Structure formats: C-alpha cells, structure tokens
Structure 1
Amino acid sequence: MPNETDRKMMEILRILADREEVLGAKTIAEELKRKGYNLGERAVRYHMRILDEKGFTERIGYAGRKITDKGLKELDKGLIYDQVDFIFSKFESMIYQTTLNPDSKQGTVVVNTSSIAPEKEAMNIIQEVFQKGISVSSLVQMGKTINGETGQKEMIMKTICGTTIDGMILNEGIPVIPQYGGLVKIEDNVPIRFTELIAYKKTSMTPLEAFTAKNMTSVLDVIQEGSGLIPANFRIIPSTSKEKASKLFEKLGKIGISGLLKIGNDGETVLGVPVEDNMTGIAVTGGISPLCAAQEAGFPVNIKLAENLMNINELNSLTKVKPLLKSSGSEPREKVRFLLSKAWNLIQKVDFDPYTHEGQLIANISYVNNQNLDEALEIMAEVFHIIPEYCTSRFFKVVPHPENNDLKGIATICSLSIDGILIKNGIMSTPKYGGILELEKKGPRFVELTAYSGSSLDPHEIYISKGMTSVYEALHGHGRVLAGLKEIPYLARQQAVEILSQVEDIGLSISKVGDPSELIYNAKVERYRSGIVTPGGLNPLAAVKEEGIDVETKAVETMVSLSEMDEF
C-alpha cells in the first residue's frame, strides 16, 4: 500500500523532472522543505538510493542524481490518488510564480511545450491560427531537437499558456479560481458556448489535455469557415473585481497577450457555464489551439500543457495578429450538462432484480460501419472469453443507428448499472471516478482517474479517443483497461457483497470490493466509505478500435432489458 515514504519519493522525482538537471541531496532537501516535507540531506540520500535501485534515478558522479526515462514513466503513473491532487496544486504553483508586469513588459509567463515535425505546411497552419488570434498570444520560442525514439528531427515550440492570465489576475490582487478546461463552440466567428468541460480539481490529467485528441477539436474549421470547436479554459473572480480585470485585459492586449472570449457580469452564466452570485466568469482561449489545428491536419504533435516558466523576453512574436473572433452576444439557453447529472437520471431507472434477472439496466451504445460489424463482434467475443473479468458483462445487442443506415450500434451493459442495483436495494452507491487500470505482475493499479462529478463527458470516452487503452494487450496478461470506482457507506459493505455475489452469478463483473477507507488499486476512498471497482463496459469496444476499426463510443446512453440482449 502506498505510504508517506512513497509520496516523498514521488516528490523527489517531480523535483528532478521539473529542474531537468543533476541535483544533489542538499538542493533536493531545500526543495522538499518548500513543499512541506522536512527531510534532511541524510534522509534524502536514503530515499534516493531506493530510487536508484528501482531504476528511477541515476547517480552522476559526485554531482548528484538525474531522473531516468523509467523514472519519468513512473512519475506519469505516480500515486494516482496523489496525482489528482497534484494537478491543481501544480497550476496554483504556476499561477503564484507568474511575475509578468504588463507595464514594464518584464517577468515570467507560463508556457506549454509542444513538439511537431518541422514541415512547412504544418508551420503555415500554426502561423495562420496565431494570426487569427485563436491563442493566448503569438509570442513563442522555437527550437529544434532529435526525437530519441524515432531519430527524426522535431520542432519544439513553447507557447504562452492560459494559466499566465490567472497569474496576472492574481498579481492585480484579485482572487482567481481556475475551474474548467473544455471546448467552446464557435459559429460565424462568435463564441457560443462550452460544449464540454472537465474540472481542474478532479482529474489526473490536465483538463485541456483531455481534449487534444485529433477528432475532438476543429480549430481548422474555425479559421477556414468561421465555425467549429476550440479549446478554452474557464475561471471565476469576485464580481467586484470585474472592472479591474477588464482594465488588465486591455493592458495585456497592448503587449500581445489576451485570448479573452468573454467576461461575464455578476452571477451571469458565461458561454453556458453557470456562475454563482457575487462571482464573475472569464473564458479564455487555450494556448494550445494552434497545435491542435496542426494535429487536425494530420501532423503528429506532442502537446504538454503548463510545462514551464519562462521570461517573456525569451519569446518572440510569430506573426501580427488580426483577431478573427467577434464578441459573444446573449447567453444561450442551453447550459453545459455534466455527466453525473445525466447518469443519476438513468441510475434511478434501474429496476433490475439480481435474484429474478428481470428489469432494466443502463447501456452504452457504440457505432461501427455495417461492413465492420461482424469483425467487431468477433473481437469483442475474443476479449470476453479470454478476460471476462475486465468486461462488465457477456451481454450485447445490435441496434440500428437513429439516422445513418450505414452504421450499426452495439449496446453493452454500463457499469453504472451496479450503482442502480445497489441503490434499489437501499445502499447509496456513488460513481466517483472513471479510470484506467494498468495490469502488472504485482496486480492492477489505476494510472488515470477523472471524476464523474467534474466532467461533461464519460472519462472512458476520453481515454478511448486519445488512444490511452491497450485492452488487446490485456489478453496476454498486461496492458491498460478501463475501470470505474464507486463508493458506498462502509456499514453497508457486507450487504453489498451479498448483492454483488448475485450480480456476478448472472454474468456482471465486479473487480474488487475494498475494505473501509482502503486504498483500492492505488485510488483513494473517502473515510468511512468502501470502494467498489468495476470493469468498464466499453473495454471490448476499445479493443475493436485498437485493432484499427473506426468506433464511435457513447457511454451512459439508454436503458435496456437483459432479456432482450444476446450473449457472447
């Protein structure tokens, strides 16, 4: 079980990764103290010997240690419960360290670091997006490197991150709370509303990172046709500070920084995002928009957000900006719908009786081309027969597409059905996270988590769209599969175990029921609660996509009767 020692070693890895240089025990001890860990040099050396033995760090003579590639991979996986907390704290740290003075044009800004093949067409696309003002700033730093894995030349581009805006607002003495990263719909060059959101405080990945999959953004459509989806982020400030914040944006605009999509009034919904009374919402374009456009055009792009701090004098303007987007008008009636609200309304419809096998369950529906249907079902059957423990159930149903006769839907049982069954039996079960389990010899562990309560999309849809699963590899004992974590009151654990045993008897899988307050597969459960891990209902469909078949996945879609479904 992860403990305080694990957390200290993870912080040492973070320090080495952030500094990107060889560090000695004294420097690391000083950095740890700043983070609240009172570790002396001797204790640091002890922890670093352990990290050396694990292959996560490497000793460089008497100068100190540097992090290895294996250490960087471990840092990415991390203590997942700690990583969820760390993501927001990382942004807070970046905000605090932003020192740019808009009057003197001096100080540090937060930058994203991206790599892309140095092809002229790709750079032309990127430059055009900057020129149209669909970014935080056209100030960039360019460089070249060699990809260590492919040996190919790459262009390294550092762009100003929207987190810089938060730092500037804070420097004006205004409390600022970053809330969401998401996608904003543009129509006729006017920002209309957020279509998707993920909360900063409730995910192990940077929110905008979740929306960098090629098929999620349509920045190219915006610059060519005036309509599409662009990445953006959202924060709130006290409404009494609106005038001060507006003047700041005017100053920032004069030095080439803005990306402002809309700033609201007291308690006003902003681009479909509700805002509490006495607060004001601010939406800003994502600094990664130009890179997203290049990715949409088919160029391989590696985007890392809020990666470093740089002095603004190290950046140069890539192009003159002629903003394309117009001011947003009246607020749309339609607000952003968060997944959990939709899920609760389906969960309460679950009336399945695990003893009589009658009633309805929640279903996912995923669509494939008619010509690929048979092959898709064969792959799904193979996944179920070899690793049934990582499939929600053996049941499926082929259904028509509501509009397109060239597509067929494949309905599978959604794991949120388990919550409905427990609630029907008087046990309050709360879906907490959708995640990815990495399968290892020492057992599975969560390596990604996104809260249902902070996302407008099912986390598993995001992971599939970004190609983060390796379900087909799981057929051979390793890989990454989708899973969910839910919580129940610890006093109800025994009754839940009895009900779930009946559920398993009819072919619905339960991965683990944890003890009260137990870390379960490296994920944290609240005190006085027990965690339940269930495999993702979309795992067989993820395997289909991994095998090169186009799949449009839709989670938590509708209700279905088990008696109407077929079995693998």
Structure 2
Amino acid sequence: MKMMEILRILYSKNEILGAKIISQELEKRGYSLGERAVRYHMHILDEKGFTEKVGYKGRQITKKGIDELKKGLIFDQVDFTFSRFQEKMYNVSLDYKKATGSVIVNISSINDLDSSKIITDVFKEGLSVSKHYNIVEKDDKTYIETVCGTTIDGVFQQQGIITKPLYGGLLKVEDYVPINFTEQIAYENTSITPLEAFTGHDNTSVIDVINNGTGVIPANFRIIPEVKKQHALAILDNLKTIGIGGVIHIGNPGEAVLGIPVPEGMVGIAVVGGVTPLCAAREEGYDLSIKLADGYAEYSNMINSSIAKNFPLKPVTYNNTTPVSFVLNKIYNLLSTVNFDIESGEGDVIVNVSFVDRNNLDTSLEILSKMYKSKPEFCIGNRYSLVDGPDNKVGIATICSLTIDGILTKHGISSFPKYSGILDIYGNSRRFIELISYKGSSVDPHEIFINKNMCELNVSGDSCKILASVHSVPYIARDKTVDILDKLGEYGFEVLNIGKPNEYTYNAKIEKYHFGYVLAGGLNPIAAIKKEGIPTDVKSIETMKNFNSFEEF
C-alpha cells in the first residue's frame, strides 16, 4: 500500500522527487515513513521498473509504473510483508558478546509527553523485548524506537539457526502465567503485519498485566529445528546479559506451545511483542502511529533503561492451555452444513451475528436499509434477522459470503475462501488494497479490518473501500460455477467479479489451474453501522440460519 502511494505521488506531481519530499507527501496522506524507509521502498520500485533514478535529483515514475498504478500492487504486498521480515533478519548485525551492531526497531510517534511516560513505565516493569530504546526528534516530531522481537530471529540466522516466524497475535495471561494465544494471523500471505492487525486499544490490556498479572499482550511465534534447541538457548542466555529477552516459552520438539501446534522435529518459541510498551499507551487513548519492524538502530547507542525489572511473566504451566482454533477449520465445517436449494430458495445459510444496544436498533436498521437499497452489490442478499442478545442487546444477523462456497460445495464444486480484504472502488476501477489469507488466521480478517476502521462505505458516491473476499475454484468447474452464481442472483446473492483461469482477480493472485471470484463481505452493512459511531460487537461466521427466517428490506 505504501509503494502504491509512492507511485501515486510521483504520478500526480509529474516531476522528479527525492526521498524527503516523498516522505512529506506520505505524511500528508497518513503514512509515517521516514526518508530511509522511502529509499528502501524506492529501491524495490526501481528493481521492478516502476520508477527510475535521475542522477542525484531523485526518482520519476516510468510508463511501466503508470500501468502498474492503474492495476495495483496488492499481489506484491501479500508476498512483500514476509519478505520484508526476512530482509530485516538478514541485516541484523548484533554482536551479543560486545553489545554492538544493528537491531531491528519498531518506530512510533509520541508527541504527547504523557504517552512517553506510560511507555517508559512499561520498560521499567520489564514487559518488553529489550530495556533499550531510542528517542528521536525529527521534523518537529518525537519518535520512540523499540527493539523488535524479530531481532532475535536475525541473531539466530546469523548463528546458523534456521528460524521461521509463523504467527503474530494476542496472548492471554492469568496471574502472570502465560495461558495461550487467543488470536493470531500468519506472517505469510498477508499485506498487513500480524501484530499491526491486533494493536488497537481495545485488543490488548498490557497495563492490567503489569498491575495485576491478568490480561492480554501482543506476542509472536516462530519455530526452529529441534537439533538447534540447545544452541538457541545459549544464544538467548547471552542476549539476556545485554538486555534483550522477552522470551515467554520454549517448547519441546513437536510440542504445542501456548495452544499453537508445532510440527514434528521442530521447536516452538514465543516472544513478547516488541510493541508491547506502545500498546500500553494506546490502551490509555493515545493515538500512536506504530510501524512494526520499520528500521534499524545501533544497539550500543540506544538508551539503557538500567532500572528495568526482570521479565515479569512466570513459567508456562500448561494447566489451562486451550488449543488455538484456526478459522478455516470452523469454515470447513460450516460450509459442509449449508443446504440452501437454488431452485426452491430454501435451506440453511451461514450467518454473521453482531450485537448493538437495543436503544440503537432502529437507527441501525435504518442504516442497513439505506445500504441494502442503494448499494445491494456491497451486500450478500438484501435480508436481515434479529436475534435476542445478552444485557439488553440485540443481534443483527446478516448472510455470510461463505454461504456461496457452501452452495457450490453442495453441487460438487471445490470452492474455498482464499483471502479476505479491503476492495478499493473508484468509479469503474476496483482493486484490493489489503489482503489477509484465511490460512493461519484464528479470526475472520474482516473483523480486523472493521475494528481498525479501514472501511469507507460511501453509499451515495462512487468512491469507497469495502470488505470483500477472494474465492478459488478449479478452472475445470468454471462453467458450472458461473451457472450457479447466475442463479443465486435471483435471491440477492451478488457476485462482484468472476475471473478467468490463471488471472489476477482485482489484483488478487489465484493459483495455477484455478480461477477466482470476488464477493462483497456480509459484514459491510455492520461496518456501516459501526462507522456511524454506534457501538457494535462485530461477530462473523457465527452459525447457521434458515434463509426464509430472514426479513427483506
């Protein structure tokens, strides 16, 4: 997305621009990207032929770049996120014997002094990857750099240990004992970094963990070969002596760690998220712009919070560990339960059920009605149903787009959801600008996008950003699939696009010998309600419900 914005800036300015100007323009558009990071992105764009360097003046966009701008870069971003972590790991040069060399850092703006105090208090409590940090003044703004947990992977790699970061997510803690991961998404096949997806102020409770030992903190997870476990333990001991730690637990070969399964012959390692101190400030309502693994810092020059306490979490006991639930497992079971008949229009469909206060119900239904009538293609069916909820709340059930996969499955077609994303619509132009793979995720990515307020549902204009999903079907079944999808249109099931074999679908990459189709998210009407400021407990892929029990607008 950042590379797309750089191309947009170069195209709109139509002149040669340097990293400083591009960084300033990105800031205006809501992207906090320093000159060094801009140069990094520009180097990638140069290699792809989308931009070219003009002496010492800067860069200009090429014809290929203009063409790419029209198509979008999201298929690159999905692979780029994980590749960026791999590159960062490779460039770590930390020598733990001398405590010198480069480490990977997260960067966040902290222009409010109170937020700075909260962050440093977390360092003092020891709940971080490292007690070292930097305070940087730049362009009349104050930034804090914290050591990223991926630095540990970089040191492992330096020392010949194969390490593969798998997940980033949220870890439940009770009485200072780590219990299990409650949410996570995979590092691969996503355009948004896993911990970035979960760093909203409503997701974590770092301050509660510090004060009473119970709450939720960000954490990440990687695996290494079992034959390197002792070597890794020795490295971690050495890192601890120079102020880098945050290791929550190291498992035994093939043993699940905090609910996450580990392959045979591998060892799982969980580490506290390097952004944990920053999350504490967000919990207190401070609007921080957090950039994960966004740069490097010379470790020996960083501020040493020498008064920091020891890491506060206790050893894992496994008494209450619950296995992580991956959303695809739930999806496969619900798909297998769909029995909607395309001829009679009867049967069970998959539904999302989101809750609002009863006194907000009428307003919520007005918003739903407006969206269903003005933008039916942004919804799955023009129907809703009400469900009694707890504590004077009412559930609003909407049809989930995964119902389509279930219907196709019922007709002998292998149809599976591949990505959940944000579809950018501008006039007749449509392209995905964010994508998260369902594989490796414990939560429907659409919930993440809604909670991060990434939707822009403009029901009266021709420009908006909506929830949408990409589904994959073997190309041999394309004709039959098209016939069924056409028939489903009679019941309000809109399809945004049906691709051709081996073709990008709104810039989403489909595997060989398959074609993709794109559906609007069934949660778009709910996102519209939340966007209007109505408190909404968003729940997707919840249960099954008979199609005829829904009401039409």
Scaled by the length of structure 2, the TM-score of the pair is: 0.90
Which residue number in structure 1 is paired with residue 100 of structure 2? 106
Which residue number in structure 2 is paired with residue 409 of structure 1? 395
What percent identity do the matched residue pairs reach? 43
Which residue number in structure 1 is paired with residue 135 of structure 2? 142
- Count residues with an aligned counterpart: 523
Q: Separation in 2 of the partners of 1:219 and 1:23?
A: 32
In structure 2, which of residues 331, 356, 381 is the aligned counterpart of residue 393 of structure 1? 381
Which residue number in structure 1 is paired with residue 333 of structure 2? 345
Tell me how far 1:491 sits from its aligned partner: 1.2
Q: Quick one: which amino acid aligns to residue 172 of structure 1?
A: Q
2:236 paired with 1:249? yes
Q: Separation in 2 of the partners of 1:32 and 1:155?
A: 28
Local SS of the residue matching 2:271: strand
Q: Quick one: which amino acid aligns to residue 294 of structure 2?
A: E
Is the CA contact (8 Å cut-off) linking 1:379 and 1:544 kept in structure 2? Answer: yes
Runs of 4+ in 1 over 3 A off after TM superposition: 15-19, 21-24
Which residue number in structure 2 is paired with residue 423 of structure 1? 409
Which residue number in structure 2 is paired with residue 3 of structure 1? none
2:438 paired with 1:444? no
In structure 2, which of residues 189, 192, 198 is the aligned counterpart of residue 205 of structure 1? 192
Tell me how far 1:416 sits from its aligned partner: 0.2
- Structure 2 gap segments, 5+ residues each: 12-17, 24-32
Which residue number in structure 2 is paired with residue 116 of structure 1? 110
For residues 222-241 of structure 1, the aligned pairs below 5 Å read 222-241=209-228
Tell me how far 1:489 sits from its aligned partner: 0.8
Is the CA contact (8 Å cut-off) linking 1:510 and 1:534 kept in structure 2? Answer: yes
Local SS of the residue matching 2:258: coil
Distance 1:145 1:549, change over 3 A: farther
Which residue number in structure 2 is paired with residue 53 of structure 1? none
Q: Quick one: which amino acid aligns to residue 521 of structure 1?
A: Y
Deviation per residue, 1:273-299 (Å, 9 max, x gap): 111111100000000011111001011
Tell me how far 1:477 sits from its aligned partner: 1.1
| 307-316 vs 269-278, greater mean Cα deviation | 307-316
Q: Quick one: which amino acid aligns to residue 90 of structure 1?
A: R
2:274 paired with 1:280? no
In structure 1, which of residues 526, 539, 547 is the aligned counterpart of residue 511 of structure 2? 526
Is the CA contact (8 Å cut-off) linking 1:99 and 1:107 kept in structure 2? Answer: yes
Is the CA contact (8 Å cut-off) linking 1:130 and 1:319 kept in structure 2? Answer: no
Deviation per residue, 1:398-455 (Å, 9 max, x gap): 1011xx2311100000000000000001111011011110111341100011111121
Tell me how far 1:371 sits from its aligned partner: 0.8
Tell me how far 1:363 sits from its aligned partner: 0.2
Deviation per residue, 1:85-112 (Å, 9 max, x gap): 1111100000010010100111110011
Which residue number in structure 2 is paired with residue 54 of structure 1? none
Question: RMSD in angstroms over aligned alpha carbons?
Answer: 2.7
2:358 paired with 1:370? yes
Q: Separation in 2 of the partners of 1:85 and 1:28?
A: 14
Q: Quick one: which amino acid aligns to residue 463 of structure 1?
A: F
2:181 paired with 1:187? no
Q: Separation in 2 of the partners of 1:250 and 1:22?
A: 32
In structure 2, which of residues 280, 286, 293 is the aligned counterpart of residue 306 of structure 1? 293
Tell me how far 1:456 sits from its aligned partner: 0.4
Local SS of the residue matching 2:349: strand
Local SS of the residue matching 2:136: strand
Local SS of the residue matching 2:542: strand
Which residue number in structure 1 is paired with residue 35 of structure 2? 20
Deviation per residue, 1:28-58 (Å, 9 max, x gap): 99x569x9x5x8xxxx6xx547xxxxxxx9x
Local SS of the residue matching 2:316: coil
Is the CA contact (8 Å cut-off) linking 1:428 and 1:488 kept in structure 2? Answer: yes
Distance 1:218 1:142, change over 3 A: same
Q: Separation in 2 of the partners of 1:272 and 1:48?
A: 45
Is the CA contact (8 Å cut-off) linking 2:258 and 2:321 kept in structure 1? Answer: no
Distance 1:390 1:332, change over 3 A: same
Tell me how far 1:376 sits from its aligned partner: 0.6
Q: Quick one: which amino acid aligns to residue 119 of structure 1?
A: L
Q: Separation in 1 of the partners of 2:165 and 2:37?
A: 33
Tell me how far 1:332 sits from its aligned partner: 4.0
Local SS of the residue matching 1:276: coil
Q: Separation in 2 of the partners of 1:28 and 1:418?
A: 38
Deviation per residue, 1:448-496 (Å, 9 max, x gap): 111111210100000000111111x243111110001101111111111
2:535 paired with 1:567? no
Is the CA contact (8 Å cut-off) linking 1:136 and 1:285 kept in structure 2? Answer: yes
Q: Quick one: which amino acid aligns to residue 292 of structure 1?
A: C
Q: Separation in 1 of the partners of 2:288 and 2:93?
A: 29
Q: Quick one: which amino acid aligns to residue 433 of structure 1?
A: Y
Q: Separation in 2 of the partners of 1:179 and 1:67?
A: 37
Is the CA contact (8 Å cut-off) linking 1:22 and 1:64 kept in structure 2? Answer: no
Is the CA contact (8 Å cut-off) linking 2:51 and 2:60 kept in structure 1? Answer: no
Is the CA contact (8 Å cut-off) linking 1:22 and 1:63 kept in structure 2? Answer: no
Is the CA contact (8 Å cut-off) linking 1:21 and 1:66 kept in structure 2? Answer: no
Tell me how far 1:117 sits from its aligned partner: 2.8
- Structure 1 gap segments, 5+ residues each: 1-5, 50-56, 147-152
Is the CA contact (8 Å cut-off) linking 1:202 and 1:454 kept in structure 2? Answer: no
Distance 1:415 1:516, change over 3 A: same
Q: Separation in 2 of the partners of 1:193 and 1:443?
A: 43
Which residue number in structure 2 is paired with residue 297 of structure 1? 284
Q: Separation in 2 of the partners of 1:233 and 1:22?
A: 23
Tell me how far 1:313 sits from its aligned partner: 2.2
2:448 paired with 1:462? yes
Q: Separation in 1 of the partners of 2:133 and 2:426?
A: 41
Q: Quick one: which amino acid aligns to residue 504 of structure 2?
A: L
Is the CA contact (8 Å cut-off) linking 1:23 and 1:65 kept in structure 2? Answer: no
Is the CA contact (8 Å cut-off) linking 1:193 and 1:271 kept in structure 2? Answer: yes
Is the CA contact (8 Å cut-off) linking 1:515 and 1:531 kept in structure 2? Answer: yes
In structure 1, which of residues 81, 84, 87 is the aligned counterpart of residue 78 of structure 2? 84
Q: Separation in 1 of the partners of 2:378 and 2:306?
A: 50
Q: Separation in 1 of the partners of 2:550 and 2:41?
A: 58
Is the CA contact (8 Å cut-off) linking 2:37 and 2:295 kept in structure 1? Answer: no
Is the CA contact (8 Å cut-off) linking 1:112 and 1:158 kept in structure 2? Answer: yes
Which residue number in structure 1 is paired with residue 469 of structure 2? 484
In structure 2, which of residues 145, 150, 160 is the aligned counterpart of residue 163 of structure 1? 150
Tell me how far 1:314 sits from its aligned partner: 2.7
Is the CA contact (8 Å cut-off) linking 2:254 and 2:263 kept in structure 1? Answer: yes
